[in-house]
Structure 1
Amino acid sequence: MIDVQIPKLGMSTVEVDIVQVHVSPGQVVAGSEIVVEIESEKANYEVEAGTAGTVREVLVKEGDVVNVGDVVVRIEP
């Protein structure tokens, strides 16, 4: 299982808001496919799957506040 995590966005950013979730369990994704859109104090970012496979778990929902490094999606390659 591959864990998709919130990336480090800068020295001062420790948490971000989940703006939109683009995938659901059972969905087949490409490595470059966007799985979630996040918002920090300074900008919006798109988080890619990073690997092709099937989404097994979505651990966040829109409106959640999560920390950098938190797992948001699990993908089975």
Structure 2
Amino acid sequence: MKPNPHPASAPLAWVKSSYSGNNGNCVEVAALPDGGRALRDSKTPSGPIVTLSDRNFAAFITGAATGEFDRA
């Protein structure tokens, strides 16, 4: 993962989960032209962006779904 202020020259189509409320505490995801994904905090859309390859994004989603990142 690496912060990247401008992952693509074309505008990205940001989406957030339909499970997200309107409290602004969401992660938004955008598909990149190379098949990877960009992630950002919905509270600060002009802030840092993390880019992941498609393989690393899949691993991230699997880890999140299995509780790998849950706080103890």
Q: Normalised by the shorter chain, which TM-score bucket?
A: 0.3 to 0.5
TM-score with structure 1 setting the length? 0.32
Higher helix share: 2
TM-score with structure 2 setting the length? 0.34
> Does 1 or 2 have the higher relative contact order (CA < 8 Å, sep 6+)?
1
* Bigger radius of gyration among the two: 2
Higher strand share: 1
